[in-house]
Amino acid sequence: MSMRLEKRATSSAAALLLAPIGAVLFTLLVSSVLVWWAGAAVTQTYGLLLKGGFGSVFALSETLTRAIPLILTGLAVTVAFKARLFNIGAEGQLYVGALAAVAVGGMHGGSGFDLPPMLLFVLMLLASALAGALLLLGPALLKARMGVDEVVTTLLLNFIVLLFVSMMLDGPMKDPMAMGWPQSVALLGDLELTKLIAQTRVHSGLIGACVLALLVWAMLKYTVFGFDIRAVGANARAAAFAGVPVTRTVALAAMLSGALAGLAGAIEVAGRTSYVTLDMSPGYGYTGIVIAMLAALHPLGVVAASVFVAGMLVGADSMSRAVGVPTFIADVIVAASLIAVLVATLLTQYRIRWK
């Protein structure tokens, strides 16, 4: 017996929307075997996971706080993947963005640069966006001009950047007040983002991230540049033949992608951490890839997928404290959801024929 995929003539909108939801439910069902292995009651564990992520104002505020950098790295990956540029380096771009933010807005020498806070805030965001953009421009040009695979170069750059950050935290950007703890000088208090709800950590970066999602969506859908990105991503040769400037489009898409990931770093520093540390991102750049794929590269879907993934990660912490199932269950669910959603999405476009 063998199987073969046959393209469906049409796929209904309902199927496209239900596919990811069904895939996630399927993943939860399969993952329950792991929960059972850890010796916990499955329904109680999932109940606590859900409650810890979404069950109270505090839980929701933590989830939304965690979703902010994920929305931005998810958007970064979306823009790059749309242009068929496999940016696996959002993690590194986030860190250079954070470093650039503190370089501009940090309390160097105790007082920092003597500029009006509004101007300094804008400069800080520009610097972090530029740092992220330039970090991805290199691999994008190497790919476009010389055919160097961008997957490997962006992956390796993540390791180089993390070592570079470590070097900066030991050297020129070291916090003199930190007693040898590896962290950068603090960001100026004036540059920190305001909290949206009192006594929680959720900050105005959430609004910024959602606005950027809308802008990226509108850009991809309604502008010539957005059309060029989609054309290059669909078929670079055909796009070139139709007069789309392929190298320029890929380079600009790379800069936009890197800038979004760089901004994630600046907004984390300004909204949550106040310092650059070596553990400020527990893999937000890599999770951004999962989010972009869960959202099927739709910028507004990225916001929904980020809230889902953030809820899982936040909920796992309190669930683990209560019933002792390791927090890594959230990572398993997220990774398995990615694979399940890919398969489910495929099945909305193809049907399986056995013969």
Partner 1 sequence: MIELFDMLAQPGFWDAVLRIATPLILGTLGVLLCERAGVLNLGIEGIMVAGAFTGWLAVYSGAPLWVGVAVAAATGAVFGLLHAFLTVVLALSQHVSGLGITLLATALSYYGYRVSFPKVSTPPTVTPFAEMDWLGIPILAQQTPLTLLALLLVPALAYVLYRTPVGLAIRMVGENPQAAEGQGVSVAAVRTGAIVAGSALMGIAGAFLTLSAFNAFFFNMVNGRGWICVALVVFASWRPGKALLGALLFAFFDALQLRLQQSGGSTLPYQMYLMLPYVLSIVALVLVARKASYPQALMKPYRKGER
Is the CB of 88 or the CB of 129 nearer to partner 1?
88
Q: Which is nearer to partner 1, 239 or 344 (CB)?
A: 344
Nearer to partner 1, 60 or 77 (CB): 77
Which residues 248-277 are close enough to bind partner 1 by CB under 8 A? Answer: none
328 interacts with partner 1 by CB under 8 A: yes
What is the rounded distance in angstroms from the CA atom of residue 281 to the CA atom of residue 17?
Answer: 30
Instruction: Assess contact for 158 and 91: CB atoms under 8 A.
Output: yes
Q: Is 322 in the site for partner 1 (CB under 8 A)?
A: no
Q: Quick check: 135 binds partner 1 (CB under 8 A)? A: no
Residue 168 or 191 with smaller CB distance to partner 1 = 168
Q: Does 134 bind partner 1 (CB under 8 A)?
A: no
* Region from 33-41, 93-101, 226-234, 244-252 binding partner 1, contact rule CB under 8 A: 33-41
Residue 148 CB neighbours (<10 A): 13
Q: 29: which 2 tokens?
A: 């069902």
Q: Pick the piece of the chain touching partner 1 (CB under 8 A) from 204-212, 234-242, 244-252, 327-335.
A: 327-335
CA dist 334 and 43 (Å) reads 18
Dist. CA 122–CA 138, nearest whole Å: 25
Binding mask 78-97 for partner 1 (x = CB under 8 A): --------x-x---------
Q: How far is the CB of 185 from partner 1 (least distance, A)?
A: 18
**What does the alpha-carbon distance between residue 268 and residue 280 come to, in Å, rounded to a whole number?**
8
Phi, psi of 2 (to 5 degrees): -135, 160
* Cα angle 139, 250, 224; round to 5: 160
Cα–Cα dist 292/76, whole Å: 9
Choice from 289, 302, 303, 314 touching partner 1 (CB under 8 A): 289
Do 265 and 96 touch, CB atoms closer than 8 A? yes
Coil, strand or helix: which one is 90?
Answer: helix
Residues that bind partner 1 (CB under 8 A): 3-5, 34, 37-38, 86, 88, 142, 146-149, 151-153, 155-157, 159-160, 163-164, 166-167, 170-171, 286, 289-290, 293, 324-326, 328-329, 331-332, 334-336, 338-339, 342-343, 346
